[in-house]
Chain A
Amino acid sequence: MGIVSLDLIEPEMILAKEVRDSSGRILLGQGAEITEKHLSLFRRWGIIELDIEGQGEEIEEGPLDPEILDEAREKMKAIFRHNNMVHPFVEALHEIVSEREARKMMRNREVQT
């Protein structure tokens, strides 16, 4: 599964997680095959992304691109600006969130290409 922006979703893709509206009502269930009609409804309802089966799975496990990881580290440094970056726990957490961010960036880039 992987989060895919609505603009990049094509009919016949399979929903990995149900879609809910803002009040929590299920609009389309997990495992459903997406149709053109669904897509136009989602657009109207302001849904911006969906969790799609089989997207970005290899990225969840595979090695991280070192350049993207460095980019993510730099980006994540900003949210820790009030903290002492040499504190071992802050450092450990910064690395974890940077890796998560790097995977997200790799997923987004893969979907775009």
Chain B
Amino acid sequence: MISRSLERFLNDDFELPAFPKVVLRLNQLLASKQFALSEVGDVLSRDPGLSAKVLELVNSSVYGLKTRVETVNRAVVMIGAEQVRQLVIATSVVKMFKSIPHNLIQVEDFWKHCVACGAIAKKLAELQGEEQPDRFFVAGLLHDVGRLILYLKAPEKMNEVFEKVKDGEMLFHEAERKVFGFNHAEVGFQLCRIWSLPDFFRETAGYHHNPEDAFRHHEAASLIHIADFIANALQLGSSGQKYVPLLDDFAWNRSGFTSSIAEGVVNESMEKYEEAIHVLL
């Protein structure tokens, strides 16, 4: 399921930045299936910086809890151990890749786009009555992470991609495929696998441009597609794409949304977006 060119690209001597120790410990702990919720809090509190960010996010309008959460132990009880792990991973990914200077993009703008996509995705998930809307915030944060790796690992080739999309004829992910033989979504899928994130995140990152081709999570990939579409239209930050990607018919029909949701979604996601970039960037 992985093309040879992509496999070569990922195996190359480029080293992915390492996750903080806390992430590895959380992965081990949760994989053991036998753990007390307090153990999750204990592991997380060994990293005060990450703990503070998780608490700030959980207390922000992104999570919209009714009571203030003062400790990480309480956060684990309120939103769940697996949700805390996902949030810790996404927060660490942003942090690991935040201060990397790059001549093709502003990394901060890149993350703004991803935060916008996450805030909008969560709102869309709430509208659909999703049981766990929080994971859509994380999925939005991570949806374009493959593109960041393309920028960091292959800046010359990304420059070629920029040349190809300059006149506006070709969309960014199509140009990536022409230049690399694969696109950022496929890289994102593989990264989520390497980071042992659940298949939900692999598929939302991997199929946000073609939700129809997902294995199991067609609805979720469709929802991230629509959130990405809205975030691009609002031009909140940018992952490099100047034009709004084509709204996919499959995704739109599958979502069951009507055009009347547009205004409410935009207005209600803005506060979440502002607060989340304040915490994360």
State the A residues within 8 Å of B (CB).
22-24, 78-84, 87-94, 96-97, 100
Are A93 and B262 also in contact (CB < 8 A) when A22-B108, A80-B233, A81-B168 are? yes
B71 in the interface (beta carbon within 8 A): no
A96–B235 CA distance with the chains assembled, in angstroms: 12
Residue of A nearest to B170 (CB): A82
B131 in the interface (beta carbon within 8 A): no
Q: Is the interface of A mostly helix, strand, loop or mixed?
A: helix
Contact indicator per residue, chain B 217-250, by CB within 8 Å of chain A (1) or not (0): 0000000000001101111000000111111000
**Which stretch, B24-32, B57-65, B176-184, B252-260, touches the partner chain A?**
B252-260
A53–B124 CA distance with the chains assembled, in angstroms: 32
Q: Give 20 new A-B contacts, CB below 8 A, not counting A78-B243, A80-B243, A81-B168.
A: A23-B99, A24-B98, A24-B281, A78-B168, A79-B232, A79-B233, A80-B244, A82-B243, A83-B246, A83-B247, A88-B258, A89-B247, A89-B258, A89-B259, A92-B259, A93-B230, A94-B233, A96-B263, A96-B266, A100-B234
The answer to whether B263 and A82 touch across the interface, beta carbons within 8 angstroms, is no
Residue of B nearest to A88 (CB): B259
The answer to whether A97 and B233 touch across the interface, beta carbons within 8 angstroms, is yes
State the B residues within 8 Å of A (CB).
98-99, 108, 168, 171, 229-230, 232-235, 242-247, 252, 257-260, 262-263, 266, 281
The answer to whether A92 and B233 touch across the interface, beta carbons within 8 angstroms, is no
Which of chain B's residues have a CB closer than 8 A to the CB of A88?
258-259
Which of chain B's residues have a CB closer than 8 A to the CB of A81?
168, 243
Residue of B nearest to A82 (CB): B246
A37–B263 CA distance with the chains assembled, in angstroms: 42
The answer to whether A91 and B171 touch across the interface, beta carbons within 8 angstroms, is no
Residue pairs across A and B with Cβ atoms less than 8 A apart, 27 shown, are A22-B99, A78-B168, A79-B233, A79-B244, A80-B233, A80-B244, A81-B168, A82-B171, A82-B243, A82-B245, A82-B246, A83-B246, A84-B247, A88-B258, A88-B259, A89-B247, A89-B252, A89-B257, A89-B258, A89-B259, A90-B247, A91-B259, A92-B260, A93-B230, A93-B233, A93-B266, A96-B262
